[in-house]
């Protein structure tokens, strides 16, 4: 379960304006990687594996969009491919994970609703995160 503190951190990551470093980035080359998953949680080991997988996504810089949907912005497809390969190596046994690559232009057309009220879309990160 996500705590209020984690929600605030995720919202902080998604807020902000596009920084100067983003000016030369094409919306057709920049990618959003969307990770959707369904993980078994029937016994304590499966729950632990599922929690590790979710924490791995957060450690990689992903933000929770919905309970089993996480997103992250990448400047290039190659970076998104590398992240997808790393994540794929940590999928728990019997877990089902789908990863979708969406251009920034396509992702900009996403419509979010909270109840019947239209909500703001996520923004590109304000700065590069170096790990």
Per-domain residue ranges of the chain: 41-109
- Which alpha helices (H) appear in 1-131, and where do they start and end? 4-14, 44-59, 77-88, 104-107
Residue 21 has what pLDDT?
A: 43
User: What end-to-end distance do the CA atoms of the chain give, in Å?
Assistant: 26
* C-alpha closest to that of 92 among 42, 129, 130: 42
**Arithmetic mean of pLDDT, 12-26:** 53
Residue 124: which pLDDT band, with cuts at 50, 70 and 90? confident
pLDDT tens, position by position, 59-81: 999 999 999 999 999 999 999 99
Between these two residues, 19 and 76, which has the higher pLDDT value?
Answer: 76
Residues 6 or more apart from 125 whose CB is under 8 A from it? 13, 14, 16, 73
With beta carbons less than 8 A apart as the criterion, state whether 93 and 66 touch. no
What does the mean pLDDT of the chain come to? 84
pLDDT at 18: 43
pTM of the entire predicted model:
0.75
Closest CA to 92 of 131, 51, 44: 51
Q: Band the pLDDT of 120: cuts 50, 70, 90.
A: confident
Cβ pair 34, 68 in contact under 8 A = no
């Amino acid at each position: 379960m996500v705590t209020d503190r984690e929600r605030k951190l995720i919202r902080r990551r998604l807020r902000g304006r596009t920084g100067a470093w983003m000016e030369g980035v094409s919306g057709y080359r920049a990618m959003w990687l969307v990770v959707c998953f369904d993980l078994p949680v029937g016994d304590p080991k499966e729950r632990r594996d599922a929690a590790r997988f979710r924490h791995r996504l957060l450690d990689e810089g992903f933000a929770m969009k919905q309970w089993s949907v996480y997103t992250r912005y990448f400047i290039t497809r190659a970076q998104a491919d590398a992240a997808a390969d790393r994540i794929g190596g940590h999928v728990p046994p019997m877990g089902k994970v789908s990863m979708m690559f969406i251009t920034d232009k396509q992702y900009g057309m996403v419509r979010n609703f909270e109840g019947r009220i239209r909500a703001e879309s996520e923004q590109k990160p304000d700065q590069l995160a170096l790990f």
